[in-house]
Amino acid sequence: MKIEIWSDIMCPFCYIGKRHFEVAKAQMTFRDEIEVVWRSFQLDPTLPTEASGESVLDYLTKRKGMSKDQSQGMLDQITQRGKAVGITFNQEKSIPVNTFQAHRMVHLAQKHGLASQMEEALFKAYFTENENIGDVALLTELAVNIGLIKDDVLKYLSSEEGNDAVQADILEAQKLRIGGVPFFFVDKTYAISGAQPISTIAQILRQAYAESDKKNLNENKSDSEDVSCNTDGC
């Protein structure tokens, strides 16, 4: 089973959704058969690549057209939801910055089977520790902490490698008409939009696996005759 997850580092519901998904996955007897692929999504690609000094509260108030009280109320609600799954949100002190470089790091980590660890490190750095996730030194430190080699990381960040992969994910999201994140695409068949409850995610995983298992059983029972269609006909 392959699960693609479109996410953005500056999205609090993506952090919560990740935690919900991990709990649901751990409940599955077939959890070792699940392949997770992280995909890039930028909620605001217009953000500067360097910290501007603007607070999250001011940023949200301006971007969403809400009052500061409304923005603060939203942050408070997110903080409470995070506590329920063991996440400490200090979002008032987070640094709004372009997430493109952070997404590149996820792609690098994915090559080494460490994408989920990189996502977790980036989420924690942004939401809990209030680090600048656009900073090369921080990205390098986080990557090394999860097991990547420092020289390889520095070489990667100084190049344009990974840029096309990030853009390809964003383009694919547009083709799939993904308007918000997190977005979980299970075997390119089932879609889970938003940080759904653990029980909902678990139910969909079981259903998708059962259908996949049934399909594989039927394929194994079929004879060698070609029963497919292609550009030359059926």
Query: Rounded to two decimals, what is the model's pTM?
Result: 0.90
* Cβ count near 73 (within 10 Å): 12
- Residue-wise pLDDT tens digits, 195-205: 999 999 999 99
Q: Are 177 and 2 in contact (CB under 8 A)?
A: no
Cβ within 8 Å of residue 38, ≥6 positions away = 4, 5, 7, 106, 110, 115, 116, 119
Can you tell me which residue has the tokens 């653990």? Answer: 198
What is the fold of 2-213? Glutaredoxin (3.40.30)
Amino acid 212: pLDDT: 79
How many whole angstroms separate alpha carbon 51 and alpha carbon 44?
14
Amino acid 217: pLDDT: 38
Q: Where do the structural domains in the chain lie, given as residue ranges?
A: 2-213
pLDDT (mean) for 214-225: 40
pLDDT band at residue 213, thresholds of 50, 70 and 90?
A: low
- Residue-wise pLDDT tens digits, 141-170: 999 999 999 999 999 999 999 999 999 999
